Structure 1
Amino acid sequence: MSVEPASSARPLSVPAPRSTAEPAPPAVPAPPVPPAVAPPPGGRTAWLAWSIGVSVYILAVIHRTSLGVAGLDAAERFAIGASALSTFSILQVLVYAAMQIPVGLLVDRFGPRRVLLFGVLLLSAGQLAFAFSSSFAPALASRAVLGCGDAMTFISVLRIAARWFPAAKNPFVAQLTGLAGMGGNLVTTVVLADALHREGWTPTFTAIALLGVAVFALVALFLREAPAGAPLPAGAFVSGPVAPRPGVGRQVRQAWSEPGTRLGLWVHFTTQFPGNAFGLLWGLPYLVEAQGMSRAGAGGLLTLLVLANMSFGFLFGRVLSRTARARMPIVLTVIAATGLGWALVLAWPGGHPPAWLLVGIILVMGSNGPASLVGLDYARARNPVERLGTASGIVNMGGFIGTMITLFGIGVLLDALSPAGSDTYSADAFRWAFCWLYVPLAAGTLMILRLRRKVAERERGAPAPA
């Protein structure tokens, strides 16, 4: 009697077939939720990593601006005029700008440490070749190599900062990076200018090239590009199994499709070029030949430009780290002040403005470099970390394209407005040549006003990437 109920109950223990609409049984575990990624730590270790990376950027700025205090010496050494002299800086800036997207892709793929090491090698090789060049063509090629190395530094340092510091602190760290670069510019205007006239061309530029050995060792031995245990960005190069990597074209298209990236490019373009063109090449000839200043006096004003740049960098960094709403007011104020300042200088009767006005325009141009970094802030806020290097490279092209256009335009106009075969340029020639500044200034301002609306619409309709 007891066996039959057990045998009859056996079929009841077999589960009936379920329909496809029936929910999964509770015994099947749900997919695991990935652990939350810890935010960048900041702190002393972060500042140490940033300091090592920024030492390469300081070295790059010394190399980049070395021609600014050696322009007259280069014209004499290579027997060239204004147009050919401007070709040095134009080619260097052209190479720098052209390398920004490739460098951004390299940083996203191989990491900033490897890119910095390769950049130091190119910087040192280019400057060493420039030190021993005695004719125009080899010197020009050496500046192109130097421009390649220079292009690999700034984006790499920003990428290190993005992985070591919390997002709210990144605008301030970016401004500090630019401020540190101005320290390299200060070395150029104070130390290099004096060494060039005491020691001569070859010993001075050779000594700068050899600085790269110490910086290379520092980066190779001590730089950590990310905190321990930090996840690699998607597409990063790793040893062993190949990580999934987005295509190069797709990476660039995605970065460019963000209105914030394009706005950042035009902000960088419009705000950086006036001070950059003045400090890289035309500042010293303008002050010495057009305004009749001594080399020492002109060097003092170029030093003031660097100090003003550092001061504005610290100020803008503090403001932007507290509120992102200050971005566009800073940009438009700097553009307006630069345009009005140069209008007063160029319209002054006789082409010889008073000393106080020259000091004033130098102080205004000191805000150009720090304001250009706001463009990188726009790109960083609207792009995910895996394409941050690419987006930063696109933005960083802007100011150097504007600088290249300005250097070339001023050089051509100076030659056109001066007597054939003349080795010097009059104050009137400089005044009309410097009117070229308003061409890229007007074009860039129009693009900023157009794109700011698109960015505002995107920010209202979509959240910022994590």
Structure 2
Amino acid sequence: MAARVFLLFTLGYFLSYFYRSANAVLAKDLSQDLGLGPAELGFMTSLFYLSFAAVQLPLGSLLDRYGSRIITPALLLVASLGSVVFGLAQSFPVLALGRALIGVGMAAALMGSLKAFSLWFPRTYATVSTLLVGLGATGGFVVPPVLGYFVRAYGEARGYPMGYTVYVALGLLALLLVWLLSATKREVVRAQERA
């Protein structure tokens, strides 16, 4: 169970990095398909960080009160919704909304993981936290080849670029994480007893 906790939270952090970097790959297509200028692209990209930062203030209290088991999956649901909104967007306001929702949803990717690891890995906390950051950050390296491949290989699909479809797929993956991260109460109690 401990290995599953590590892998799932690390995957969530990986997704956060993937989302952060995705707009750099999609910028040209977003400009062509939706007629976005540099200012709109920059604003839309910054919405991830603005919404991400806005959630950090209440996040600590929420994690302390309700724990990672509830807060992280709840925010991943928001990220799932945002990724679908972004992936299907046909206008700048909808695109911006999707991007902001993704930022909110990924706000607990790091802190939620660190909170969970403090319960599950009290003796090896430093090691697993370092692995989380190192492995999760690879999401930024995976974006260009993966997203670029879909954009180049498939082009238009069902009325919107195939590259955006990756956002929908990531949303479904985040939903899967929500389900898998929902550990049973007994597992959480056992983790707390080990701490």
Larger radius of gyration: 1
In structure 2, what residue type is equivalent to 1:174?
A: S
TM-score using structure 2 length: 0.84
Query: Aligned partners of 1:46, 1:205: CA distance in 2, in Å?
Result: 29
2:159 corresponds to: none
- CA drift at 1:54: 1.9
* Cα offsets for 1:290-344 (capped at 9, x unmatched): xxxxxxxxxxxxxxxxxxxxxxxxxxxxxxxxxxxxxxxxxxxxxxxxxxxxxxx
Q: 1:125 aligns with which of 58, 81, 85?
A: 81
- CA drift at 1:89: 1.7
TM-score using structure 1 length: 0.37
2:147 corresponds to: 192
**Residues 65 and 112 from structure 1, CA distance in 2 versus in 1: closer, same or farther, beyond 3 angstroms?**
same
1:230 aligns with 2:193: yes
Matches within 5 A, 1:391-410: none
1:181 corresponds to: 136
In structure 1, what residue type is equivalent to 2:142?
A: V
**Residues 164 and 228 from structure 1, CA distance in 2 versus in 1: closer, same or farther, beyond 3 angstroms?**
closer
Q: Which has the higher helix share?
A: 2
1:63 aligns with 2:19: yes
1:215 aligns with 2:177: yes
SS in 1 for 2:102: helix
Matches within 5 A, 1:13-162: 45-162=1-118
* Cα offsets for 1:3-54 (capped at 9, x unmatched): xxxxxxxxxxxxxxxxxxxxxxxxxxxxxxxxxxxxxxxxxx5443222222
Query: Aligned partners of 1:194, 1:84: CA distance in 2, in Å?
Result: 25
**Aligned length in residues:** 187
* Cα offsets for 1:112-166 (capped at 9, x unmatched): 0111111221111001011111111111111111110010221000011112223
- State the 4+ residue runs in structure 1 displaced beyond 4 angstroms: 221-226
Query: Aligned partners of 1:61, 1:131: CA distance in 2, in Å?
Result: 17
SS in 2 for 1:74: helix
Contact 1:160–1:225 at 8 Å: present in 2 too?
Answer: no
Query: Aligned partners of 1:212, 1:166: CA distance in 2, in Å?
Result: 26
2:165 corresponds to: 203
* Cα offsets for 1:195-224 (capped at 9, x unmatched): 122232443332222222322222125794
Contact 2:120–2:194 at 8 Å: present in 1 too?
Answer: no
Contact 1:111–1:225 at 8 Å: present in 2 too?
Answer: no
RMSD (CA atoms): 2.4
Contact 2:8–2:180 at 8 Å: present in 1 too?
Answer: yes
Query: Aligned partners of 1:226, 1:150: CA distance in 2, in Å?
Result: 26
Query: Aligned partners of 2:191, 2:170: CA distance in 1, in Å?
Result: 34
**Residues 207 and 164 from structure 1, CA distance in 2 versus in 1: closer, same or farther, beyond 3 angstroms?**
closer
Query: Aligned partners of 1:180, 1:116: CA distance in 2, in Å?
Result: 18
Higher relative contact order (CA 8 A, sep 6+): 2
Query: Aligned partners of 1:118, 1:229: CA distance in 2, in Å?
Result: 21
**Residues 111 and 231 from structure 1, CA distance in 2 versus in 1: closer, same or farther, beyond 3 angstroms?**
farther
